[in-house]
Structure 1
Amino acid sequence: MRYVLGVDGGGTITKCLIADDKGNLLGQGIGGPSNYQVIGVRKAIDAVEMSIKEVIRIASIRKAKFEVICLGLAGVGRSIDYEVVGKALKGLNLAQKIILQHDAFIALAGATICRSGVLIIAGTGATAFGINEEGRRARANGWGFILGDEGSGYDIGQKALRAVTRAYDGRGEATLLTSRLIQYFKLKSLLDIVQRVYRDKLSRREIAALTPLVVEAAKKGDRVAILILKEAAEELATSVVAVIKNLKTEKEKLEVAITGGVFKARELILPYFKGRVKEVAPKTRFIEPRFEPAIGAIFLGLREIGVEIDDEILKRVNDSCARLGEIKGNVKK
């Protein structure tokens, strides 16, 4: 029996799955964050190794080396990233073949079951990534919270904070967001937001967590909140369109997988977002990811050892997801 490992490494946790060559998922291991741009190479590799050791223990597999380990890691996108992280991974001596990709690559593989398409992720950050039928790749957005991430939860949260300060000064329109943020942060007055943001060092994740407040205000008809969400939809659509144009797939039947907390706004985001994309690529079909990114890594690993991802493999993977729990598996043809 041959085994492959699939690793999804992000800014919060690292998840590792193990599967046999029949498509049976045998266990899941969890490690800490593994974005080496944020925590450094050594800590990132330690998190990956921790997740691998845990899944090996859970699956009770004794094997000197696995056939393939496929990793999709946040923060890996440039040639130097692959060189630095790849060298460190080889030192673990865990597999005969190492496939190192960025996290959006394995997310797309899980979303479309290794088929061509585009993935848009809008969580704390935002990025779009796609592959066409010829295997050409394209990315847009995802430059981080200083250089980009437009349309992300962080972007929405930051605009909410700025909107209430503009309203306070009289530079902007009055908004329900003012009372919502005062209540959310338990402030005596809006002036106390300065300490909460700067002295208490409000994190990117905490700022992104303000998105539901914007959605709530928009549902009550707040024009400022509605505009913030419309601008987010525009940015996310622009990212997808940029990928589609770079791939030259405007006239093709194309799947665009949508994922991330921002899209939970549903009717406040999706109609405008989809409409903007379809203006450029009218044959686009929007889908939810069929499988989570770690399973995408498993699919890529299986393909590397010559296993075709057919209906039988998909059934075993899907059944395994149900047995293991907390792993997204939902085959939609």
Structure 2
Amino acid sequence: MWLLGLDAGGTKTHCVITDDKGSIVAEGFGGAGNYQVCGIEKTKESILKAIDEALNQSVLEKKNICHAVFGMAGADDEMDLDILNPLAHSIMGDVPVDVVNDTWIGLRSGADDNIGIVSICGTGAAHAGRNKKGESLILRNLDYELGNRGGGGDLVSSALHYAFRSNEGTYLKTSLEDEMKKIFKAKTMDDICYIIRNEEMSDEHRYQIPIAVFQTARKRDPVAVMLLEEMGQTLGQYASGVIKRLHLEDEKIPMVLIGSLFKTGEPLFINAYMKEVLQTAPFAYPVFPTKSPVMGAIGLIIDQRKGC
């Protein structure tokens, strides 16, 4: 029995094929897979590339797959599932496939019993949880206007905001100003302004800016420190909201931390997150999964005990 798990995020798509015990026999990668950001055609292209790469590596065909789970950023509500379910079925054909939000495969990758809270902080941010009664909750995890905040995208906006304010003398001086000039290969902030206003800001620029914030914060730049601590605190508030609504305040619960920003291990960021969480749930503790999120998709299939 061969199982297929997929993790489609804002930056990359990861596919694994395993046996029925969860041992990996092949894997493949594709590009961005959040259709809300990159569009449905790009999402399909990324998924197909990742799956085809894994199938070719394993010398298997789709018909050999018993069951698949797609964990997808952007699978936030019924409106999204009405788009993504047909996409998944068109890709997998007759193979049974479940589409779930990527928070759920993230939680399963870090909690074998699938109980706890998961916070994702990568390109974007998302939060969900499940209690011992089997009750689950996921936040909307959409955009700023609809209550969400956090992730690399927000860090890009904030870092640029304060770099320009530093340049104009309307807030604290920050070395982020010089870092932006390096990233954009610009002599002045006016040059950067021109690049942004002419929509010439590239994906590479967006990738480099959060890295610069973390590096600058480690040098104790006050603005960069503020940005990381503020984001950690904000994400902790979202996680605390999930804890309260699932009535987990008095339990020893794992906080499963997923995504590139949590992977940095930066204490300024993670300590601010946990400080906020511990005010609500004093027995909560952080978990950094040793397995990649895509293995949570495989775990969900095994949990269902579906045979061919």
Cα distance in 2 for residues equivalent to 1:42 and 1:223: 42
Cα distance in 1 for residues equivalent to 2:89 and 2:271: 46
Cα distance in 1 for residues equivalent to 2:236 and 2:124: 15
Alignment pair present for 1:234 and 2:251: no
Cα distance in 2 for residues equivalent to 1:76 and 1:113: 23
Q: Partner of 1:47 in structure 2? A: 46
CA contact (8 A) 1:125 1:149 kept: no
User: Deviation at 1:148?
Assistant: 5.7
User: Deviation at 1:53?
Assistant: 2.9
Does the C-alpha gap of structure 1 residues 261 and 39 become closer, same or farther in structure 2, counting only changes over 3 Å?
closer
Does the C-alpha gap of structure 1 residues 36 and 224 become closer, same or farther in structure 2, counting only changes over 3 Å?
closer
CA contact (8 A) 1:154 1:208 kept: no
Aligned residue pairs, count? 306
Matched to 1:283, the amino acid is F
TM-score norm. by structure 2 comes to 0.89
Residue 172 of structure 1 aligns to a residue whose secondary structure is coil
CA contact (8 A) 1:158 1:207 kept: no
Residue 167 of structure 1 aligns to a residue whose secondary structure is helix
User: Deviation at 1:272?
Assistant: 2.3
User: Deviation at 1:39?
Assistant: 4.0
Q: Partner of 1:283 in structure 2? A: 283
Q: Partner of 2:23 in structure 1? A: 24
Which deviates more, 70-79 or 131-140?
131-140
TM-score norm. by structure 1 comes to 0.82
RMSD of aligned Cα (Å)? 2.5
Deviations 1:222-257 (Å, cap 9, x if unpaired)? 222222222111111111111111211111110001
CA contact (8 A) 1:108 1:114 kept: no
Matched to 1:219, the amino acid is R
Cα distance in 2 for residues equivalent to 1:254 and 1:261: 22
Cα distance in 1 for residues equivalent to 2:208 and 2:222: 20
Residue 224 of structure 1 aligns to a residue whose secondary structure is helix
Q: Partner of 2:176 in structure 1? A: 177
Q: Partner of 1:10 in structure 2? A: 9
User: Deviation at 1:79?
Assistant: 0.9
Q: How does 1:73-88 map to 2 (within 5 A)?
A: 73-88=72-87
CA contact (8 A) 1:154 1:205 kept: no
User: Deviation at 1:172?
Assistant: 1.1
CA contact (8 A) 2:76 2:142 kept: no
Residue 32 of structure 2 aligns to a residue whose secondary structure is coil
Q: Any unmatched runs of 5+ in structure 2?
A: none
Matched to 1:301, the amino acid is I
Q: Which runs of 4+ in 1 moved over 6 A?
A: none
Cα distance in 1 for residues equivalent to 2:204 and 2:106: 21
Q: Any unmatched runs of 5+ in structure 1?
A: 308-333
Deviations 1:200-234 (Å, cap 9, x if unpaired)? 43256633531232233333332222222221111
Residue 126 of structure 2 aligns to a residue whose secondary structure is strand
